[in-house]
Amino acid sequence: MAYTFLLFDLDHTLLDFESAEETALTQMLEDMNFPDVQAFKDYYKPMNQGLWKDLEQKKLTKQELVDSRFAIGFAHFGRDVDGEEMALRYQDYISQQGQTFPGAEDLLAKLVERGYQLYGATNGVTAIQQGRLKQSAITPYFKEIFISEQLGTQKPEVAFYEKIGNLIPGFAMKQALMIGDSLTADIAGGNAAGIDTVWYNPNHKENTSQVVPTYTVSNYQEIADLLIK
């Protein structure tokens, strides 16, 4: 199959979200003189991941997620905070984090050189994602980056991909490839939209779901081998 349009997930695929989150949370909590920074992170990180899964399943809205996650986190430690205000404070810290995985920029450069059109396709908060992308080295390789909050829909909804398709000149689903680490967002969404998918699985997780990717890879070289003949 000849592909033209490559849709890349960002966090956990190209952008190192774990490093960004770790640095931003540490800086914010230390500046607040929080007594046990590590304990907060140990509770907050899985709780936050659970909220994003709930968002995928439409159990809550993006705004509810953003406004509640820090209120929930601090409440666990007996502190009452304004979740909305804390979200804005955290946004200042994490939007300065542009860490990418080793080899990400090199992969994108090779794909652009071969004539592929690269687009970012990310679920996230607009201000945070735009800030992090400004700090990263990968942004120039993309013709455009689509953020769910701006589109008013998110992966895995078919509407997310349909809106992207309407915004890309000459776009055709059969010429597109969705590349990402999440079976429930990237792969399930691509499948539903009729787009071939690459499951980026560097940790060799077992697929126990009903979601079947077109291809599975465990490193960037395998993506290059798939697309650069």
pLDDT of residue 62: 86
* pLDDT over 70 at 1, yes or no: no
Residue with tokens 């509770």: 43
Contacts from 213-216 at CB under 8 Å and sequence distance 24+? 213/183, 213/187, 214/177
Mean pLDDT of 175-204: 97
Reference 6, options 192, 205, 190; nearest CA is 190
168 contacts 144 by C-beta, under 8 angstroms = yes
pTM of the entire structure?
Answer: 0.90
Q: Is the distance from CB of 9 to CB of 121 less than 8 angstroms? A: yes
Q: What is the pLDDT of residue 160?
A: 98
* Model pLDDT for residues 152-182, shown as the tens digit of each residue: 999 999 999 999 999 999 999 999 999 999 9
Work out whether strand 117-122 and strand 176-180 pair parallel, antiparallel, or are unpaired: unpaired
pLDDT at residue 171, rounded to an integer? 98
Q: Where are the alpha helices (DSSP H) in 9-157?
A: 17-31, 37-56, 62-76, 83-94, 104-113, 126-135, 148-151
Identify the CA nearest to 200 among candidates 173, 184, 182. 182
> pLDDT tens digit string along 71-92?
999 999 999 999 999 999 999 9
CA distances from 197 to 62, 100, 215 (A): 25, 22, 6
Q: Is residue 229 pLDDT above 90, yes or no? A: no
Please report which helix (H) or strand (E) contains residue 164, including its range.
Answer: helix 158-167
Nearest residue to 7 via CA among 151, 210, 206: 151
Render pLDDT for 14-55 as a digit per residue (tens, 0 to 9). Answer: 999 999 999 999 999 999 999 999 999 999 999 999 999 998
Mean pLDDT of the chain: 96
Q: Is the pLDDT of residue 205 over 90?
A: yes
pLDDT band at residue 125 using 50, 70 and 90 as cut-offs: confident
Kindly report each contact of residues 217-225 with a partner whose C-beta sits within 8 Å and lies 24 or more positions away, as own/partner: 219/103, 220/101, 220/103, 220/104, 220/106, 220/107, 223/107, 223/179, 223/198, 224/107, 224/110, 224/111
Positions marked catalytic: 9, 11
Q: Which two tokens stand for residue 166?
A: 């309407």
